[in-house]
Structure 1
Amino acid sequence: MGENHTLYPSDKIEVNDRKVYLFLKRLVDVLGAASGILLLAPIYIFVAILIKVEDSQGPVFFKQKRIGKNGSEFNMYKFRSMVSNAEELLNDLLEQNEATGAMFKMKNDPRITKVGRFIRKTSIDELPQLWNVLKGEMSLVGPRPPLPREVAEYTEYDRNRLLVVPGCTGLWQVSGRSDIGFKEMVELDLLYIKNRSLFFDMKIMFKTLYVLAGSKGAF
């Protein structure tokens, strides 16, 4: 899906796009992502070895088309946590979707590998997205970037999620994640977009560390 989703003025919500905030947010993103990549390099190598040992046929990294700010497409990176032909098997599992609205979630997804279950539970599979942050396609904090097929089901109101750069973590992730339905996720994302600030971003990042320490709400 290469088309942008146009947001008309009457559908838009108020967004904090002050230049000082955007400059500081980008500065924090670059410094945070660069530091994270350097400090976590040993984990990158260790996880890559585990993935290859369990399934030598597939790649270490999983690249997937996602929708970013204003409907632009980009490739989001993750450590591969599923079998090599996961996308081909998805259609047979759609009827078992445990999420509401334009999302697919399945707690006992048979496509997930043993290593994949561990890196998902600890959110280690998300670490390669630090490269997306460095490239400016994502931010450390913001709404999660949706899949094209999910955006195809969005209402104009839902598309307000696309008014800002998507993030690695956000208000939704620290508020329940898998226990929250699609409509609630949209409302949390829009609440963040309307009230985002450097302090709010920092608060979400620290709360993310707390959530990860307990490995809560992930599947």
Structure 2
Amino acid sequence: MSGSHQSTLIQILSDTGLLAGTLWLSVYLSGYPWSDKYSIAALGGVLLYYLLAEMNGLYMRSANLSWELQQIAWSWLWVVLVFLLLAFVTKAEYSRQVILTWFVLAPLAVGLWRWCFRAFLRQVFGSSRIAIAGAGDLGKRLAQIIESHQGLSIISFYDDKRVEDSIEVRGNLETLIQDAKNGQMDCIYIALPMSAEKRIKALLSDLTDTAVVVYMIPDLFIFDLLHSRWQNIAGLPIISIYGSPLDGIGGLLKRLEDLIMSLFILLVMAIPMCIIGLGVKLTSPGPILFRQQRYGLAGQKIWLWKFCTSTPFGQFLRRTSLDKLPQFINVLLGQMSIVGPRPHSIWFNQQFRQRTPKYMLRHLVKPGITGWAEVNGFGGETKLTQIKTHIAYDLYYIENWSLWLDIKIVILTILKGCFLTIGNFYGKKK
């Protein structure tokens, strides 16, 4: 797991422990026994807070502590409002003393933890004087990461080449070597492009005559990366160029999301699906369901189920996407996800995989019933320019996957389907 993924996981686990722990403490201080209703409150509060915190960017580190505290308060306020609404609707009986104590303690604990963690980083790293060799794109991005992720300050940039006026460069690489020998810095990050191999070797050689800690940052901007991350095999560091966000904890969360949502949808839609099946049978002499072969995860072939749509009733099912309802069974079987790149036909893959760069990278994740490209108006394209845009949306989804993005796509799909159904209804009346 990459460093950024580890940090995010630590933040999520910390928030989970603090939110559940403060509820337990509230119950204990109030003298009430712990019961199942408090377990449900803890689980619901943690899940809702996680979704809101992710949506508000709290798991993307920021150098601005006051902004983080505001987002913590805002996210928790919505948890409180939803909890009170559900308690009122369901007539659930909770101790007012317990809940009020929890509502106050939880955000204070999360905010205090973030403040203490930053104070710890300043204590450990605060005295470090950092210099960056290279004031190009890599150097500027590195400076932003160091300042935002660790709250440290860059004392200076050094570069032989002329750079933008917005970047203050202390001197060239010769000046860097001299300043390092004079003890003006504690560590140096070399952020020069890979094309500067000779300069990098010479700089590393000269820096052996100093007592400064030196770090080498590989220039990966020359590659078009897709969810890249560092890994370690028997002590050998490697980097994945084309990776999936659904390895490890991400894959577990995605699978839980698919199981919970697909079970819920199948239960809710069980009767409508039976009615649709009856409608298909009464309007068509053929079978109710048919299957199509598609490419799934890692390019493996899978069978997708759909309602037959060879009659006018079937055309209505296609327009409203109701013909895809049996594919929630594919989701339960683990062959598909609710959200992901839509599976294209075998013929379609064969036609466009050679003509469209990175086409097959969409198979790094499971195909979905709906996707980011579909809610943005791309689906069933035949022109090459449209296909390239479609693939760009699919790759954006893979690179930026999160539970909140999945929920957003599901909501947009439902809204789009409702508007389409209403539009078709009024269009026929006219």
| Fold shared per TM-score above 0.5 | yes
Question: What amino acid is the match of 1:208?
Answer: T
Which residue is equivalent to 1:189? 394
Distance, in Å, in 2 between the alignment partners of 1:146 and 1:177 is: 13
> Against the structure 1 CA distance between its residues 12 and 150, is the aligned structure 2 distance closer, same or farther, given a 3 Å change threshold?
farther
TM-superposed CA distance for 1:179, in Å, is 8.3
* 1:210 corresponds to which of 415, 418, 425: 415
Describe the SS at the equivalent of 1:76. strand
Contact 1:12 1:160 in 2 (8 A): no
Q: Which moved more, 1:131-140 or 1:12-21?
A: 12-21
Count matched residues.
Answer: 178
Question: What amino acid is the match of 1:163?
Answer: L
Distance, in Å, in 1 between the alignment partners of 2:317 and 2:373 is: 20
TM-superposed CA distance for 1:195, in Å, is 0.8
Describe the SS at the equivalent of 2:245. coil
TM-superposed CA distance for 1:41, in Å, is 0.9
Normalised by the size of structure 2, how large is the TM-score? 0.39
Which residue is equivalent to 1:63? 291
TM-superposed CA distance for 1:39, in Å, is 1.1
Query: 1:17-166 residue pairs with structure 2 within 5 A?
Result: 17-56=246-285, 58-82=286-310, 113-153=311-351, 154-155=353-354, 157-166=358-367
TM-superposed CA distance for 1:13, in Å, is 3.3
1:2-58 alpha-carbon deviations (Å, 9 max, x no partner): xxxxxxx9x9634313422211111110111111111111111111111111112x1
Q: Which has the higher contact order (CA 8 A, sep 6+)?
A: 1
Distance, in Å, in 1 between the alignment partners of 2:241 and 2:324 is: 30
Contact 2:373 2:390 in 1 (8 A): yes
Normalised by the size of structure 1, how large is the TM-score? 0.75
Contact 2:246 2:254 in 1 (8 A): no
When the two chains are superposed, the root-mean-square deviation of aligned CA atoms in Å is 2.3
1:87-112 alpha-carbon deviations (Å, 9 max, x no partner): xxxxxxxxxxxxxxxxxxxxxxxxxx
Question: What amino acid is the match of 1:67?
Answer: Y
Describe the SS at the equivalent of 2:372. coil
* 1:201 corresponds to which of 392, 397, 406: 406
Describe the SS at the equivalent of 2:287. coil
Contact 1:68 1:74 in 2 (8 A): yes
> Against the structure 1 CA distance between its residues 178 and 140, is the aligned structure 2 distance closer, same or farther, given a 3 Å change threshold?
closer
Question: What amino acid is the match of 1:47?
Answer: I
Distance, in Å, in 2 between the alignment partners of 1:37 and 1:179 is: 26
- Percentage of pairs with the same residue: 34
Contact 2:379 2:390 in 1 (8 A): no
Describe the SS at the equivalent of 1:140. strand
Q: Which runs of 5+ in 1 are unaligned?
A: 1-8, 83-112
Which residue is equivalent to 1:98? none
Q: Which has the larger radius of gyration?
A: 2
Describe the SS at the equivalent of 2:389. helix
Q: Which has the higher helix share?
A: 2
1:56-87 alpha-carbon deviations (Å, 9 max, x no partner): 2x1101100010011101100011112xxxxx
Q: Which moved more, 1:145-154 or 1:162-171?
A: 145-154
Question: What amino acid is the match of 1:76?
Answer: L
Which residue is equivalent to 2:52? none
Q: Which moved more, 1:192-201 or 1:171-180?
A: 171-180
Describe the SS at the equivalent of 2:302. strand
Describe the SS at the equivalent of 1:59. coil
Question: What amino acid is the match of 2:305?
Answer: Y
TM-superposed CA distance for 1:178, in Å, is 4.4
Contact 1:78 1:127 in 2 (8 A): yes
Distance, in Å, in 2 between the alignment partners of 1:132 and 1:23 is: 17
Describe the SS at the equivalent of 1:62. strand
Distance, in Å, in 1 between the alignment partners of 2:350 and 2:380 is: 23
